[in-house]
């Protein structure tokens, strides 16, 4: 009976139409301008075929940006999950219900902050002369510590802020997931004299495999949004060691030279890569 109502069509058609237009028009347009040589200051431009794409692969900065972006994904996703699991287990093991409630609220703070704020807060904390994080090092060794201008540490330092934002938040989710588990397997394992870490490693985490994979997937998507942090903290520097794909596409398409078509070809490649990779992963994860 209910299936005869027109409600689904009425409720679904307008939003889906809007989403489709908002998603496909820019995508199609990006592909279109990527075959031209349009620049910000010259709205004309002509058809150049695949020239932009061919140029990309001999562009040292593009190749570098792919490497930086992949490193960024790997580092932030791994560390976030690691931090989240450790914090989640610690809360589950040691914190009372009241403490859990308080910690939940506290651990939400970093992720709710605008990324611009988070980036600035940490950039100032890492300031070699006035920073509160670098102060102990300076006080002990007498040397300033300039993590953001050192090519060896700059990317990791920015990644730390991302892990700070997401790791604590995911820690709360891991706690909530542990709370949903039935207590029987834990008790059984304890009767077998398993050590606490063995209980978690061999009993609890395997039971949470599916949601943890989902969390990994979500973090992989969210890690694509590195731009805000990098823009405020390093601008891709020193040199180009923190120049991710979005940072490079932005500077080519807008600030540095306004080569919109060239930047679009990068955008198209990024769209294709992320859509294909994430679709494949998604279909695997959710059968």
CA–chain centroid gap for 64, Å, is 19
Phi, psi for 47 (deg, rounded to 5): -70, 125
In the region spanning residues 13 to 42, those forming contacts with another protein, defined by CB under 8 A, are: 14-16, 18-19, 22-23, 25-27, 29-30, 33, 38, 40-41
> To the nearest whole angstrom, how small is the minimum distance from the Cβ of residue 80 to another protein?
13
Both tokens assigned to 233:
């903290």
> To the nearest whole angstrom, how small is the minimum distance from the Cβ of residue 188 to another protein?
20
Q: Are 263 and 38 in contact (CB under 8 A)?
A: no
In the region spanning residues 59 to 88, those forming contacts with another protein, defined by CB under 8 A, are: 60, 86-87
Gap between the Cα atoms of 77 and 162, Å rounded: 9
Confirm or reject binding of residue 159 to another protein (CB under 8 A): no
Confirm or reject binding of residue 230 to another protein (CB under 8 A): no
Q: Is 49 helix (H, G, I), strand (E, B) or coil?
A: coil
Binding-residue total with another protein (CB under 8 A): 114
Determine the interface stretch with another protein among 72-80, 183-191, 200-208, 227-235 (rule: CB under 8 A). Answer: 227-235
CB atoms within 10 A of CB 152: 8
> To the nearest whole angstrom, how small is the minimum distance from the Cβ of residue 187 to another protein?
17
Closest CA to 176 of 101, 106, 76: 101
Residue window 88-107: x/- pattern of binding to another protein, with contact defined by CB under 8 A = --xx-xxx-------xxxxx
The residues that bridge with 47 in the sheet, in sequence order, are 36
User: Which residues, in sequence order, are CB contacts of 217 under 8 Å at separation 6+?
Assistant: 278, 281, 282, 285
Both tokens assigned to 70:
């992949």
Determine the interface stretch with another protein among 8-16, 46-54, 70-78, 198-206 (rule: CB under 8 A). Answer: 8-16
Confirm or reject binding of residue 199 to another protein (CB under 8 A): no
In the region spanning residues 104 to 143, those forming contacts with another protein, defined by CB under 8 A, are: 104-110, 112-117, 120-122, 124-125, 127-130, 132, 135, 138-139, 142-143
């Amino acid at each position: 009976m209910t299936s005869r109502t027109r409600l689904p069509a009425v409720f679904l058609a307008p939003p889906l139409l809007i989403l489709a237009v908002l998603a496909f028009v820019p995508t199609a347009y990006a592909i279109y301008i990527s075959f031209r040589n349009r620049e910000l200051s010259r709205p004309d431009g002509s058809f150049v075929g695949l020239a932009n794409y061919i140029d990309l692969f001999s562009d040292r900065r593009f190749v570098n940006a792919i490497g930086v972006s992949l490193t960024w994904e790997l580092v932030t996703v791994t560390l976030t999950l690691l931090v989240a699991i450790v914090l989640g287990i610690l809360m589950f093991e040691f914190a009372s219900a009241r403490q859990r409630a308080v910690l939940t609220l506290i651990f939400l703070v970093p992720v709710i902050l605008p990324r611009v704020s988070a980036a600035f807060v940490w950039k100032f904390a890492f300031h070699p002369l006035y920073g509160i994080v670098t102060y102990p090092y300076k006080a002990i060794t007498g040397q300033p510590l300039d993590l953001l201008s050192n090519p060896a540490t700059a990317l990791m330092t920015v990644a730390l802020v991302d892990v700070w934002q997401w790791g604590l938040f995911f820690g709360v989710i891991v706690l909530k997931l542990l709370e949903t588990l039935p207590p029987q397997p834990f008790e059984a394992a304890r009767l077998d004299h398993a050590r606490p870490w063995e209980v978690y490693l061999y009993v609890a985490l395997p039971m949470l495999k599916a949601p943890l994979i989902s969390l990994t997937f979500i973090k992989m998507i969210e890690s694509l949004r590195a731009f805000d942090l990098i823009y405020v903290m390093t601008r891709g520097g020193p040199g180009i060691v923190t120049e991710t794909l979005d940072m490079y596409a932005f500077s080519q398409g807008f600030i540095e030279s306004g080569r919109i078509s060239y930047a679009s070809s990068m955008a198209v490649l990024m769209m294709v890569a992320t859509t294909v990779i994430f679709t494949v992963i998604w279909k695997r994860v959710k059968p």
